[in-house]
Amino acid sequence: MIQHLRINDTHHRVILLTTFQAGCAVFGFLSESLANRFVLNLTFVAQLALLMGTLNFHHRALRHLLNTFWSITAALMVFYTLSFTRNALVLENTKGAVFYGLAWMLLMLSAWQISSPLYYPLVQWWEYDFRFRSDIRVTAKDGDTNHQARLTDLRRGAGCVMMFQHVPVGTVLEIRTEVLHLHFGLKAEVVSRKEQILGRAYHYGVRFRTEDLEQRQRLKLLTHYWREGKDTKKRSKNSNVLT
């Protein structure tokens, strides 16, 4: 089973953590219900069904990398916080508080790990003026073919490349660009692919290969350049609005 889940892969590891989190939430709910002698009635069944349905939608959204994952995550965080506080301070139900506390911690850990550009990149979908976007124009070379693309997110040793061409997951691309009048390339492996809207560019989550020192230095320079450009364009837009 562990080999089937491929826990070395972040996505499958987060799915496993989310499964444990769901189990803790259900045990916390059952513990709280037993402590209040609030079981085997219509209200109990309805609340349990609602919780199970929410956890199921949360799991499915994560498996398919849907953006609804974040709205459900926020709702679950509020629910776990209120439930932990109620069990710890009001009901004095230690078991329920422990289960809800574990569920909250597992949910936070899962959200942090999956927030990588590999799976959920930061995309300024509300910014239609490309002058103020933090995108970096790049060329993605696939074998002997060059594709014009944009690098929209660059964090935690990974990035998001947007382009209209279709390439399969596992493809190794050479990302070429110019930074401070220097031309260089970085090797990157395509880990995930998402098509947000039909007719729009694909979002490719790529993991940069940094086996040697030169590649690490290039990635560090590119990351710094992307962050500085993002801050500069944000200040430029604010100044234009004020004037």
What number is the average pLDDT over the span 32-60?
A: 88
For 42, half-sphere exposure in the C-beta direction (CA atoms, 13 angstrom radius) is 0
Q: Give the pLDDT confidence of 148-203 residue by residue, as tens digits.
A: 999 988 988 899 999 998 899 899 999 998 877 778 789 999 998 887 666 678 88
Statement to judge: residues 31 and 135 lie in one domain: no
The single residue listed with the structure tokens 């690490």 is 216
In a domain, 71, yes or no: yes
In a domain, 123, yes or no: no
User: Within this chain, do residues 140 and 97 fall inside the same structural domain, yes or no?
Assistant: no
Contacting residues for 103 by C-beta, under 8 A, at least 6 apart:
21, 22, 24, 25, 28, 76, 80
Q: Which pLDDT value is given to residue 100? A: 97
Of 114, 147, 178, which residue constitutes the final position of a domain? 114
Tens digits of residue pLDDT in 110-141: 999 999 898 988 766 655 656 667 788 899 99
5: its two tokens? 């889940």
Domain stop point among 62, 86, 114: 114
> How far is the C-alpha of 55 from the C-alpha of 61, rounded, in Å?
10
Both 134 and 231 in a single domain? yes
Q: What pLDDT, on a 0 to 100 scale, did the predictor assign at position 190? A: 93
C-alpha–C-alpha distance, residues 86 and 38, integer Å: 15
Q: How confident is the model at residue 239 (pLDDT cuts 50, 70, 90)?
A: low
> Does residue 20 belong to any structural domain of this protein?
yes
Do residues 196 and 211 make contact, with C-beta atoms less than 8 angstroms apart? Answer: no
Give the predicted TM-score (pTM) of the model. Answer: 0.81
Identity at 43, one-letter amino acid code: T
Please check whether residues 34 and 95 belong to one and the same domain.
Answer: yes
Range of the domain at 206: 130-242
> What mean pLDDT is predicted for residues 33-56?
87
pLDDT digits (tens, 9 = 90+) for 58-97: 999 999 888 899 999 999 999 999 999 999 999 899 999 9
Tell me whether residue 12 is in a domain. yes
Lowest average pLDDT, out of 16-20, 53-57, 121-125, 205-209, goes to 121-125
143 and 109 assigned to the same domain: no
CATH of residue 179's domain is 2.40.10.220
Highest mean predicted confidence (pLDDT) among 52-56, 154-158, 169-173, 216-220: 52-56
| In a domain? residue 124 | no
